[in-house]
Amino acid sequence: MPFHFFTSFARLPLVFRVLIISVSLIFAFGSIVHLLEPEQFTTVFEGVWWAVVTAATVGYGDFAPKTVLGRLSGIALIMVGAGFLASYFVTLATIAVTKQNDFLEGRI
List residues near K ion by CB under 5 A.
59
CA distance 11 to 56: 26
Residue type, 16: F
Q: Which of 38, 36, 71, 68 is nearest to 54 (CA)?
A: 71
Residues 14-43 within binding reach of a second copy (CB under 8 A): 14, 17-18, 21
Please identify, using beta-carbon distances, which residue of 35 and 60 lies nearer to a second copy. 60
Binding mask 61-100 for a second copy (x = CB under 8 A): xx-x-x-x--x--xx--xxx-xxx-xxxxx-xxx-xx--x
Q: What is the DSSP string of 37-93?
A: -TTTS-SHHHHHHHHHHHHTT---SSS---SHHHHHHHHHHHHHHHHHHHHHHHHHH
- Nearer to a second copy (CB atom), residue 1 or residue 58: 58
Please report, as ranges, the residues that interact with a second copy according to CB under 8 A.
6-7, 9-11, 14, 17-18, 21, 45, 49, 52-54, 56-62, 64, 66, 68, 71, 74-75, 78-80, 82-84, 86-90, 92-94, 96-97, 100-101, 103-104
